[in-house]
Amino acid sequence: MSDMEKTEFRLPEGIPAGGRGPESSVDATQQVADRDMEVNLRPKSLDEFIGQPKVRNQLDLVLSGARKRNVTPDHVLLSGPPGLGKTTMAMIIAQEMGSSLRMTSGPALERAGDLAAMLSNLMEGDVLFIDEIHRIARPAEEMLYMAMEDFRIDVIVGKGPGATSIPLEIAPFTLVGATTRSGMLTGPLRDRFGFTAQMEFYDTADLTRVVVRAARILGVGIDDDAAAEIASRSRGTPRIANRLLRRVRDYAEVHGDGHVTLAAAQAALVVFDVDEMGLDRLDRAVLSALIHGHGGGPVGVSTLAIAVGEEPSTVEEVCEPYLVRAGMVARTGRGRVATALAWQHLGLTPPPDAPGQHAV
Ligand SMILES: Nc1ncnc2c1ncn2[C@@H]1O[C@H](COP(=O)(O)OP(=O)(O)OP(=O)(O)O)[C@@H](O)[C@H]1O
Ligand SMILES: [Mg+2]
C-alpha cells in the first residue's frame, strides 16, 4: 500500500486523529483511548466549533461566498500550535461544502509522484487536506504551485534525456494546508493560499465551553467551577482540556461517585502533575533548564531541548508558544530568556535584569 492509500479517506469513514502533542507522560493504551475520544469530540460544523471567532467568521465568509458563486472555495492555510483545532477545521470545511475530504501529510509526499497520484484522483470540489504542509518535499511543493494556481500539473515520464513532460488537467479542488510552523513555509507556497487562518490559544471562557460540551458527550457530570478549573489549566488548548477532563473523570470515579467537583478536579490535576498555570512536566523542565541551567538565558532552543531530552521541534512547537503567550519566556535575537514571571513561578527571586520585572 502506498502512503497515499494509507492516509487517504472519504468522510464519514474512519477519521485518523493526526494528533501530536505533549504526550510524553502518557502510556500507549491511554494514547489510543485519547485518540478515540478525540474523534468523538470533534465538532462537525462551524456552528458547533467553539471559540476562534475571527477565524470562524472569516471562514464562514469564504465558504458562503464560494457556495453563492457555485465555485470551489479558495485554498486555505490553517496555522497555529498543536491541538487548537486545525484538523477539525479542515474536516468542517469539507463538511460545510458537502464535499469529500482527502487527507495526507507533508512527510508522506516524499516524491512528486506521490502528490501527482493524489491530485489526479481528485474529483471536482474535493477538499485536499495536507497536514504539516511545511514538511513537504521540494519537488512535490513545486508541483503543488501549478496545481493550486492552474489546476494542472506536468507529469514527467521517463528518465534522462528521453524524459518527457505530459500536462495533466486536474479537477478544481480546495487545498487546506495545516502547519504548526508557518514561518517554515516558503513564500511562493504561502502566497498561493487565498486565505490564511491563524488559530490562537483559547481563553478560559471558551475552553470552559469545550470542557462542558465534552463532558456532555462523554456522559460525565461536572460542576461549573470544576469545568472552569480544568479549562484554566489547559494551556489554552482544547485537546489538552479534553485530555484533562478524562483524567479528572478517572479520579472522580475512583475516589467518588464519578461526578466531577472542583475538589476532585484540583486533586486530580495535582496527581497528573499539572500546575495552577496549566504547565506540565515538560514545560516546567524547560523553564528549569533555562533558569537553573543557564541563569535565565539567553539560550538557544536546541540547547534547551538537549537539557530536557526532547527534540528541538517539540520544544519549539509544543512548549514554547504557550510559555511565550503565558509571559514566561521571551524570544530575543540571541535566544530565549526567562521573564520575571518564570522565576517567580519556580519560587525564585528574579534578577534585576529579567524582562517583565516591573510589569508583574
Ligand atoms: N473549537 C473546538 N471546540 C471543541 N473541541 C475542539 C475545538 N477545537 C479542537 N477541539 C478538540 O481538540 C482536539 C484536537 O483538535 P485538532 O486535532 O483539530 O488539533 P490540530 O490543530 O489539528 O492539532 P495538531 O497540530 O496536533 O494536528 C479535537 O479532537 C477536538 O476534540
Ligand atoms: Mg491536526
- What DSSP element (H or E) covers 114? helix 112-120
Q: Kindly tell me if the per-residue pLDDT of 358 is higher than 70.
A: no
Tell me the CB-side half-sphere exposure of residue 104, using CA atoms within 13 A.
24
- pLDDT in the model for residue 180: 93
Q: Whose CA is closest to 243, among 35, 20, 42?
A: 35
pLDDT of residue 15: 37
Range 332-350 average pLDDT: 93
Which three cell numbers mark 218?
462523554
Q: Is 87 a catalytic residue?
A: yes
In the reported structure, the alpha carbon of residue 73 is separated from the centroid of ligand 1 by a whole-number distance in angstroms of 22
How far apart are the C-alpha atoms of 237 and 54, rounded to whole Å? 17
- Contact predicate 94/117, CB 8 Å: no
Q: Is 242 in the pocket of ligand 1 (CB under 6 A)?
A: yes
d(CA 345, CA 9): 45
Which domains are delineated in the chain? Answer: 23-198 (3.40.50.300), 204-271 (1.10.8.60), 281-345 (1.10.10.10)
pLDDT band at 4 (very low <50, low <70, confident <90, very high): very low
Residue of 31, 42, 101, 216 best suited for mutating to test ligand 1, as the one with most atoms within 8 Å of CB: 42
For ligand 1, say whether the CB of 239 is within 6 Å of any of its atoms.
yes
Ligand nearest to the CA of 78: 1
How much is the mean pLDDT over the chain? 88
208 lines ligand 1 (CB under 6 A): no
Is 326 a residue whose pLDDT tops 50?
yes
- 264's CB contacts (< 8 A; 6+ apart) are 226, 248, 251, 252, 255, 256
Provide the terminal-to-terminal Cα distance of the chain, rounded to the nearest Å.
56
Supply 7's cell numbers.
492516509
Distances in whole angstroms, Cα of residue 215 to Cα of each of 41, 144, 296: 10, 41, 40
- Establish whether the linkage from the previous residue to 12 is cis, with ω within 30° of 0: yes
Whether 55 and 195 have beta carbons less than 8 Å apart is answered as no
CA 135 vs CA 15, 89, 179: distances in Å: 22, 20, 9
Q: What is the DSSP letter of 22?
A: S
- Residue 220 has a CB neighbour count (10 Å cut-off) of 20
- Determine which of 29-33, 117-121, 211-215, 301-305 has the lowest per-residue pLDDT on average: 29-33
Angle at 236 between CA 221 and CA 301, to 5 degrees: 140
Rounded to the nearest 5 degrees, what angle is found at the Cα of 133, between the Cα atoms of 129 and 134? 170
Cα three-residue angle 194-19-74, rounded to 5 degrees: 10
Please tell me the predicted confidence (pLDDT) of residue 33: 67
Q: Are 321 and 312 in contact (CB under 8 A)?
A: no
In ligand 1, which atom is closest to the CA atom of 18? 27
| Overall average pLDDT of the 127-135 stretch | 96
Catalytic site includes residue 54 = no
Chain segment 11-36, per-residue pLDDT in tens: 333 334 443 333 444 456 666 666 67
pLDDT higher than 90, residue 195: yes
Catalytic residue flag (residue 68): no
Cell 485530555 belongs to residue: 243
Q: Are strands 101-105 and 127-131 parallel, antiparallel or unpaired?
A: parallel
Question: CA 75 to CA 148: how far, in whole Å?
Answer: 8
- For ligand 1, pick from 87, 93, 237 the residue to mutate: most ligand atoms within 8 Å of CB: 87
Identify which of 56, 84, 208 to mutate to test ligand 1's pocket (most ligand atoms within 8 A of the CB): 84
d(CA 86, CA 45): 13
**219-245 pLDDT tens trace:** 999 999 999 999 999 999 999 999 999
Give the number of whichever ligand sits closest to the CA of residue 234: 1
What's the pLDDT score for residue 2? 42
pLDDT score, position 141: 94
pLDDT computed for residue 9 by the predictor: 40
Burial class (CB in 10 A: 0-12, 13-18, 19+), 306: middle
Q: Which residues pair with 101 in a beta bridge?
A: 127
Q: CA-to-CA distance for 43 and 91, rounded, in angstroms?
A: 9
Amino acid at 89: M
Confidence band of 159 (pLDDT split at 50, 70, 90): confident
The catalytic position among 102, 213, 233, 239 is 239
- The larger pLDDT score, comparing residue 29 to residue 309, is at 309
The reply to whether 131 belongs to the active site is: yes
Q: Give the mean pLDDT of 297-320.
A: 92
Average pLDDT over residues 127-144: 95
Q: Could you confirm whether 3 is annotated as catalytic?
A: no
Atom number, ligand 1, closest to the C-alpha of residue 213:
4
Could you tell me what percent of the chain has a pLDDT over 90? 76
| Grid coordinates belonging to 6 | 494509507
Beta strands in the chain (DSSP E): 76-79, 101-105, 127-131, 152-157, 164-169, 174-179, 195-198, 329-332, 335-338
Which ligand has an atom closest to residue 82 CA?
Answer: 1
